[in-house]
Structure 1
Amino acid sequence: MASPAPQDVPVGSEMIRLGSFMKYAGMLDSGGDVKEAIIDGYVKVNGEIDRRRGRQLQAGDVVTFEGRSFRVQV
């Protein structure tokens, strides 16, 4: 079964940090929950686990968490 297409999330700037993007996209409500999910390895960026909350995302990057995917748009 194919994964659904990622939902585009316009961020209004060239770059955004992973933790900020997850909160902005509504993936999780609190910064503490975001930090825990990232550190525990539940978050993928472009198909690979990334444990860096401060990772800089650019337009086109896809963040996946709990089966939902979101694509960074400028």
Structure 2
Amino acid sequence: MGEIVKKDVFIDTPYITLGQMLKEESIIASGGQAKWFLRETTVNVNDEPDNRRGRKLYDGDHVEVLDVGLFFIHSKQGNE
């Protein structure tokens, strides 16, 4: 595997689901892959294991995808 990334993810809605974030960050190709991916890959949300594709991620949350990287969620709301 390549280098582990650390990336800021900016959202313009109150939250993004874990499945949506995985798709938007090109970790998976389609939303339909989220369930399988989360069953096969360790994902931690705020340092706790989570495999729910519908898990809501809010401003300030961080997601660690094993062997992929660390993603920090930031809201764009109010910054326009």
Q: Which TM-score applies when normalising by structure 1?
A: 0.77
- 4+ residue runs over 3 A deviation: none
Q: For the aligned residues, what is the CA RMSD?
A: 1.9
Identity of aligned residues (%): 34
Superposed displacement of residue 37, structure 1: 2.0
Q: Tell me the SS of whatever aligns to 2:53.
A: coil
Q: Which TM-score applies when normalising by structure 2?
A: 0.73
Equivalent positions of 1:29-44 (< 5 A) are 29-44=29-44
* Partner AA of 1:42 in structure 2: T
Distance (whole Å) between structure 2 residues aligned to residue 5 and residue 41 of structure 1: 16
How many pairs align?
A: 71
- Asked if 2 retains the 8 angstrom alpha-carbon contact of 1:63 and 1:71, the reply is yes
- Bigger radius of gyration among the two: 2
- Asked if 2 retains the 8 angstrom alpha-carbon contact of 1:43 and 1:64, the reply is yes
